[in-house]
Structures are given as C-alpha cells and as structure tokens.
C-alpha cells in the first residue's frame, strides 16, 4: 500500500471554496458530504487532506477488484497509447460483448452505452418497441437511473395508492407518470392484479432482482417469471448493480431465475464509463435496422459507447473476477461484517437491523420486517449520525449501502468493525 499523501488542509479548504462557487450545492450531486477523494489503492482511498479511509463506496460499485489494480492499470495504459475512442467497432468491445453473453444466461446479444441510466432507459424503450405497448411496471423504491421514466417512485416524497407513481424530480412531465405502473416489491398478488388491469397497454416488468438492500422473498422472482410467461410480457432484470457482483452470472445465476433482457453496468467497465443492455436476440433485433421493419427499429447512438479503454478495463476486470476464490472471499468478508454489526447493535441496544446480503448491505434504523420500500424507511437522523460517525473513523460508504469488493482484506474488516462499534457506542 502506498504511503498517505501529506496532510494539507489548505488544499482542501481551497478546493471546497472553489467547489461551492462553481458546482451547484458544492458537489457533483452524488454524495451528501464534502469529502474530496484524490486517490485510491486496493480498498483504501485518501482525501486531499491526507485522511485514509477503508472504502465501501467503491466509486458506487464499479471498483469490485479494488482501486488501481495493477493488471487493470497495465492493460488500460497499453490501450490508451493506441487511441482512446473511434466511434466504430473495436476489438475490445466485441470481445467484451462475447464475454458478457457467455456469462449471463439471458444474454444472446449486447448493445453498449455509457451509463446505467442509459441502459435502463433503452431497456424500457426496447420493451415498448418489442410489444408495441406503452406502459412499464416497476416497483416502488426500485432505482432504474436518471431518465424521466426511471425517476418515478424511486424515493417518493409522498405515499401514493398503487399503481399511481410519483415523480422524484422537478421537470418530469405528468404524462410520463401515467405510463409507469408502480407495485410494491415482494408482493406477487398485487403485481398480478395490476397486470390484469393494465394488460392491453403493458409491455413488461423492470425489476432489480435485489432491490437496493432488499432481498427477494422466496418465490417472488420465480413468480414474476411465471406471470410474464402467462401474460406474454417482457421481463427485464436491472443488473447494473448485481451483475457480476452476486455471482459471475449475475443475480439471475444467483437466484436461478432468467429474465428476457437485462441491464448491466458498474463492474463491466472496470471503473470507466460503460454499461450495456443484453438479452434474447429476437428482442435485441430492434437495434438492427437491417433486420426489422422501419417502424420497429430502435435508434441508439452514443459517442463513447463500447469505447476501447472502458471495454479493455472491463475485460480484464471480468478475467480477475473469474479466478477461483474471489467470490467466496467477498462473501466471507461481507458476512464477517454483517455478523459483527449485529453483535455490536445488540450490545449497545440500538434500534437498528442489518438488511441485505454479503455483497451489499447496510443498516436500517427500525425494527420492522423489511420486504419493500415502505418497510425499509428508518430514522433519517440516526442514519446521518451513523454515516458521519463512520467517516470520522475512516470508513467511507454510500449514504445507505456497503459495497463489498474481492479486495477487502482482513485488516480492512477489523478496522471497520472497530469503527462501527465505536460509532454504535457514540449513538
């Protein structure tokens, strides 16, 4: 591990002042605190003032093999020297598409984009094009990117009656809300009822197979698959987060339920902007102008889609993930944290619970059985204090999630458990 950079509070102060002047809210909009990270190595990162953190944010997930992995660095340095992007096919992107198709059972063909938001947007458009219907069923609390359609009832500010959706952002047309059918996660009976009510207009279902921190109850994903078969709907798994994280074949391999199409991101770009839509060739054919009628063709163009640097980084990352023992190590380390957190919560008498699974979890400050968005709502004040307490003790995480990596060491876990116990004592 490299030595920490020299502590320089003046640099931090100057950058924070500059950020407040040139960035709305003083930041990029991703996190709610002013931390400025300057570099990372493995599962440690350093801010501009030299503070060191054990990293569970992992760039919001893509750094699953750790920061600055020497093998990933080596390949991208070679590729960058050959040119950074061409707007044409390139060997690395073609090979990465083939690797994804080999890994993900539902995928026969792949179309690359630059972000998970784009992937989910195009996936919903693809379902509409394939079925020639306008409505998509999604689940309250499910996150499907920053498009108008994605930002319906992700973090609703008001409780609505299903299937009514609520826009999560200013600037979203009311007409968009009317095209999204919103259901409670893990509730098959309500899903089937809403399908029947909207069947003549409904193209398909988009779902995070593991919704934020919430696991599917036994039979839920299988039930969605059965309903989509019965009512001839397209089933899309949003695997931007879970793809290559829960298993090499994604959540569809982990849970043994195969969708018709899926979206992927984060891990497949190795830390560079890259995401993808993949699925059955009879659905993906809508991207091929030469193979469908003019009215069935779905335009998709992206300046950096499948660019060689990101594709090469993704290929090397997937190669590393395929190696024996990596997933077992990540699950083991995740479970060590989960069990240690549970013990500390009990010892300090905190009203909280650990929700999630070994690759991805966090605290919810309530004592409800968490099965959907509404039951996962906890005490925001306690959550803010907990996150601040962990940062103060050198643990960096998102505001509601730990991402585990194949690179988290025993030393990282021990430091995290100590910081967590001290934070719980403080709470």
What distance in Å separates the CA atoms of residue 210 and residue 105, rounded to the nearest whole number? 17
The residues that are catalytic are 143, 238, 266
pLDDT for 288: 97
CATH topology of domain 70-321: 3.40.640
What distance in Å separates the CA atoms of residue 50 and residue 68, rounded to the nearest whole number? 18
Task: Tell me the whole-structure pTM to 2 decimals.
Answer: 0.95
Residue 1 has pLDDT above 50, yes or no: no
User: Other C-beta atoms within 10 Å of 169: how many?
Assistant: 12
Per-residue confidence at 316, pLDDT binned at 50, 70, 90?
very high
Per-residue confidence at 2, pLDDT binned at 50, 70, 90?
very low
Which stretches of 215-305 are DSSP H helices?
220-231, 250-255, 281-284
Give whole-number Cα distances, 94 to 64, 80, 109, 226, 304, in Å. 22, 17, 11, 33, 14
Residue 6 has pLDDT above 70, yes or no: no
Helices (H) and strands (E) in the chain, counts: 13, 14
Are 75 and 313 a contacting pair, CB within 8 Å?
yes
Per-residue confidence at 4, pLDDT binned at 50, 70, 90?
very low
């Amino acid at each position: 591990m490299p030595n920490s950079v020299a502590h320089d509070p003046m640099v931090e102060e100057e950058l924070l002042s500059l950020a407040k002047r040139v960035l709305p809210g003083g930041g990029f909009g991703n996190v709610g605190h002013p931390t400025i990270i300057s570099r990372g190595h493995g599962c440690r990162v350093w801010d501009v003032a030299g503070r060191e953190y054990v990293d569970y944010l992992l760039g919001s997930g893509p750094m699953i093999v750790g920061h600055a992995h020497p093998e990933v660095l080596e390949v991208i340095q070679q590729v960058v020297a050959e040119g950074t992007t061409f707007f044409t096919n390139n060997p690395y992107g073609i090979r990465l598409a083939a690797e994804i198709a080999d890994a993900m059972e539902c995928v026969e063909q792949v179309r690359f984009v630059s972000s998970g938001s784009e992937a989910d947007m195009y996936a919903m458009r693809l379902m509409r094009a394939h079925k020639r219907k306008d409505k998509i069923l999604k689940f309250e609390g499910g996150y499907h990117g920053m498009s108008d359609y994605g930002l319906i009832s992700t973090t609703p500010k008001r409780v609505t009656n299903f299937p009514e959706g609520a826009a999560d952002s200013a600037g979203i047309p009311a007409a968009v809300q009317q095209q999204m059918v919103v259901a409670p996660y893990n509730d098959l009976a309500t899903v089937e009822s809403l399908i029947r009510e909207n069947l003549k207009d409904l193209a398909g279902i988009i779902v995070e197979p593991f919704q934020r921190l919430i696991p599917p109850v036994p039979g839920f994903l299988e039930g969605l698959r059965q309903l989509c078969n019965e009512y001839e709907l397209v089933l899309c798994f949003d695997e931007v987060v879970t793809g290559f994280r829960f298993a090499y074949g994604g959540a569809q391999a982990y849970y043994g339920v195969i969708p018709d199409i899926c979206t992927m991101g984060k891990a497949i770009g190795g830390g560079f902007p890259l995401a993808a839509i993949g699925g059955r060739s009879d659905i993906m054919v809508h991207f091929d102008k030469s193979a469908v009628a003019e009215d069935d063709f779905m335009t998709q163009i992206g300046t950096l889609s499948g660019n060689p640097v990101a594709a090469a980084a993704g290929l090397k990352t997937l190669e590393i993930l395929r190696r024996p023992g990596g997933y077992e190590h990540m699950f083991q380390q995740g479970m060590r944290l989960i069990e240690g957190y549970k013990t500390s919560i009990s010892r300090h008498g905190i009203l909280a619970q650990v929700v999630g699974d070994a690759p991805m979890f966090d605290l919810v400050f309530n004592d409800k059985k968490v099965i959907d968005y509404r039951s996962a709502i906890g005490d925001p004040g306690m959550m803010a204090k907990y996150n601040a307490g962990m940062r103060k003790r050198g643990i960096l995480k998102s505001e509601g999630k730990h991402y585990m990596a194949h690179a988290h060491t025993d030393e990282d876990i021990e430091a995290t458990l100590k910081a967590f116990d001290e934070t719980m004592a403080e709470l």
